Structure 1
Amino acid sequence: MKNRTPNEERKGKGIGGPESVNMKTRNQKPNNTRKGLSLEAFAHARSNRSHYNPASIKKQQEFYKNAKYVSKFKKSMKQQGLSSASTPREDEMNKKNKKSQNKAKVSLREMYEKKREEEEKARIEKEAIIQAKKEERDKANARRKATREKMYKKTRTGQPVMKYRIEHLLETIQGSKTHS
C-alpha cells in the first residue's frame, strides 16, 4: 500500500468508497457560488415548505387585517341605520345563490327519491319473478310426486298396479301425437 500513488488507491476503493459519491469529473469546477444548507438544517428540512414561508405568512396577515377592516365597516354601517352594508346588487346575487342552492338541494333530493323508487320497483319485480318460479317448481314437484306414487303402487302380493302405468303410457302417446 505504501508504494501506490493516490490515483491507484482511489481506483482500488471501488463503488463503496467516498470518492464514488461525488460523480464530478476532474475538468468540472466546483460550484462555490451557492451556499448550501447546514447539516442540521438539512436534517430538519421538510418536503412541505408551507411550514415557514414568509410570503404566505405575510399574505395571511394581510388577509386577516382586511377582514378586520371590513367587519368594522359593516358594524359602523349598521350603527348608522342602514340595514346591511352590502349593495342591493350583492343582495340580489346572494338571493340568487341561495335559490340556486335550494333548487340544487331539491333536485338532488328528487333524483335520490326517483332512484330509490326505481330500485324498489326493480326489487319488487325480481321478488315476484322469483316467487312465480318457486310456485311453478313446487307444482311440478307435486305432479312428479303424485305420478311416481301411482307408478310405484303395488298390490297386496307385491305386484305392480298396471292401471296407472297404462294411463301414463296413453297420455305420453297422445301428447306426442298433438305435438307432431
Structure 2
Amino acid sequence: MTKKDDKRNDKHDEKKKLMIAKKNKKRNVSRLGGSGRSLNVFANAKSNNNQYNPALIKKQRELYKNAKNVNKYKKMLKRQNLQNEEELMLQPKPQNVDLSENLNETEGDKDKNERRKPRKKDSAFSLEELYKKKHEEKEKERMEREAIFKEKKEQREKAEARRKTLREQMFKKTRKGQPVMKYRIEHLLETIQGSAGNKS
C-alpha cells in the first residue's frame, strides 16, 4: 500500500471514531434524561412538581383565608376610625373655659393621687390573697384528681388480680392433662346467678 492509501485509511478511521463518539454521547445523554443544564440554570431552576398534594392545597387555603380575614379587619378598623373622626368633628367644642376651674381640677387630681398610694398597698394585699386562694383551689383540685386516680388504679389492680386468679383456675389441669371442671362449673354458676339477679 501506498502512503496515500494509509492517509485515507487514517482519515476514515478518525471519522469513524468521531461518529462512534457522537453516538455514544447521544446514547449517554438520552440515558441520563437529556442534556445537562448550565450551572446558572440549574441553581435557579424550580422543581415542577405537578402532582396532587392535599397538604399543600390546605396550606394555600389557610393562607388565602387568613389574608382575607386580615383585609376585612383592616377595612373594619378604617371604618371605625372614620366614624370616630366624624363624631369628633360633629361634637361642639367648649369655648368659655375658666382657668380657675382648671387649677381646681389639677389640685383635685393631686388629692386623688395621694389617696391612691395607700390603695396600692391594699391592692397588693388583695392580689396576694387572690393568689393564695387560687393556689389553694388548684391544690385542692390536684388532690381530688390524685385521689380519683388512685381509686381507679386500685380498682383496676383488683380487677386484674380477679381475672388472673380466674384465668389460673380455668387453665388448671389434672395429672393426665384434662381440664379441672370444678372451677369452670363454679364460674358458669356464678354468671347464671348474676344474670338471674340482674333480671329480677
User: Which TM-score tier does this pair reach, normalised by the shorter chain?
Assistant: 0.3 to 0.5
The structure with the largest helix share of the pair is: 2
Given the two structures, how large is their TM-score scaled by the length of structure 1?
Answer: 0.48
